[in-house]
Amino acid sequence: MNFHYSRRRKALFAGFSLIFLTAAFSGIEKIHDLYAAEQQAERKAILDQRLALVRSTIEALIYRETYIADSLATVLSVSPQETTDNWPAIAKRLFHKSRIARNIGVAPDNIIQYTYPTTNNQSSIGFDFRTSPEQMVTVQRAMELQDVYLTNPVSLVQGGRGIIARFPIFTDAPHNTQYWGTVSVVMDYEKFLQEIGIDQFTDASIALSGQADEVSRQPVFYGSPQTFAEADAILPISIPNGTWRIAANYHLASWQQPFLSQHAVRLVGWLVALAVLLSTLMAWRALLLSRSIARQDELTGLPNRRYLMEQLNSIVKQRKTRSFSLLNIDLNGFKAVNDTYGHLAGDQLLRLVANGLYNNVRSYDEVVRIGGDEFVVILHRLTDPQRIERKIEKLRATIEHSSIQWHGDAISPSLSFGYAIYDGTPISVAELLSEADRNMYRDKRSKRL
């Protein structure tokens, strides 16, 4: 009945909210227009931040990759002969530090003689930069700068496109009058785009432009020139000895804004709906809590006698036999502990025994406190007497060797065990508990002898 009533109240509140929203539609829309404009401004600020992050990612990646060329150029300028003699080992070490390098090349006198890796790059060996005006211009720029020069993406001799970092090699640093050749690190253009994650920027049209003074005269190498013409934001990208640019045209018009109204009537409607939801959740929680408390021992946190009886009756009544053994455990001398040390010490001792039992049985076994100083353990699928005896001795040894400290005294528990086995043979729960109880008292009497 409660469930039906709850559904009815939910339906009433939903109908009430719908009527209110319909009646207040015109006023809500006016407020919404103001809110939407504010949301668009906030959205643009978020996209500006994302664009700045892409810019920073590009800068970090480019500077990281050009460091490889810088390292190799330094080694070559100091010892060109030794470097070329040990080219494969040196190139391999530097190459594997890169995330997007396609190949590394060394061109003494501007003729490529060394490359790594050699696979798919053999066609570049012997290439003379002087035979390609477009590439020679970049070599000359590096020579003029006496430092690294970064190209826009260019078509490569061995196929594909790449961004090339060129370092001039001078053998008389710091005077830099004795030109030896050049080092080139070719960065894979497609990997570059993947690394910066530019294709994930789905909320805007993005374009990248290179340095405008290059031979190509077409500085936009990614995206459309129209993006620069209609850009909502254009940011400079700092690269070694130069600048690129990134532009973004945000798709704000197609962005679906959340509909949140500040109208008083709409606010009341949301508060009413929220009150219904919170009331339902609180009622459900209270029901679960009351059921849990009724089946749980407050002191130890273990299930209580009521839970045990429900569980045993459920198992015994099942058509499919589920065998188990039932351990009845009594804490010897518990009254003396309470009389000597007080009930707080007794409570702590009970918790020690409860934790000892719980932590030393299998995860699917069950430990129950049935009252006072008595516990019951259900060992599922364990019916072999010898194995049960071993389990009892293990529990006894573990728990009786533990203790609590109470005002300087160590109090160790002493336990008596008895058990009964359920193997599907018709027997009542009371008889099963009684058998385990008798065996427990037999064990208790043996301790007194």
| CA–CA distance, 320 with 84 (Å, rounded to integer) | 80
Q: 351, 345, 352: which is closest to 400 by C-alpha? A: 352
The 10 Å CB-count burial string (b at 16+, else e) for 9-21 is: eeeebeeebeebe
DSSP strand pairing (204-209 vs 220-222): antiparallel
Q: What is the mean pLDDT of the chain?
A: 82
User: Model pTM?
Assistant: 0.49
Determine the pLDDT at residue 103. 86
- Give 19's pLDDT tier (boundaries 50, 70, 90): low
Can you list the domains of the chain with their CATH numbers?
A: 45-250 (3.30.450.350), 295-448 (3.30.70.270)
Determine the pLDDT at residue 421. 95
CA separation, residue 345 to residues 342, 410, 431 (Å): 6, 11, 34
Residue 243, pLDDT > 60, answer: yes
Paired tokens of 234? 């254009």
Share of the chain above pLDDT 70, in %: 80
Neighbours of 300 (CB within 10 A): 21
The string of pLDDT tens digits covering residues 275-315 is 655 565 565 556 656 666 778 888 998 999 999 999 999 88
The string of pLDDT tens digits covering residues 405-417 is 999 899 999 999 9
The string of pLDDT tens digits covering residues 169-208 is 888 878 888 899 999 888 999 999 999 988 888 888 999 9
| CA–CA distance, 50 with 44 (Å, rounded to integer) | 10
Determine the pLDDT at residue 405. 94
Q: Work out the widest C-alpha separation in the chain, in whole angstroms.
A: 109
DSSP-assigned states of every residue in 325-385? EEEEEEEETHHHHHHHH-HHHHHHHHHHHHHHHHHTS-TTSEEEEEETTEEEEEEET---H
Q: 260, 243, 254, 259: which is closest to 47 by C-alpha? A: 254
DSSP-assigned states of every residue in 356-369? HHHHTS-TTSEEEE
DSSP annotation of 199 = G
Q: 127, 103, 133, 134: which is closest to 181 by C-alpha? A: 127
Q: Alpha helix locations (H) across 197-342? A: 225-229, 264-294, 305-317, 334-341
- Give 361's pLDDT tier (boundaries 50, 70, 90): very high
Q: 232, 289, 183, 199: which is closest to 47 by C-alpha? A: 232
Q: 441, 431, 326, 329: which is closest to 374 by C-alpha? A: 329
DSSP annotation of 322 = -
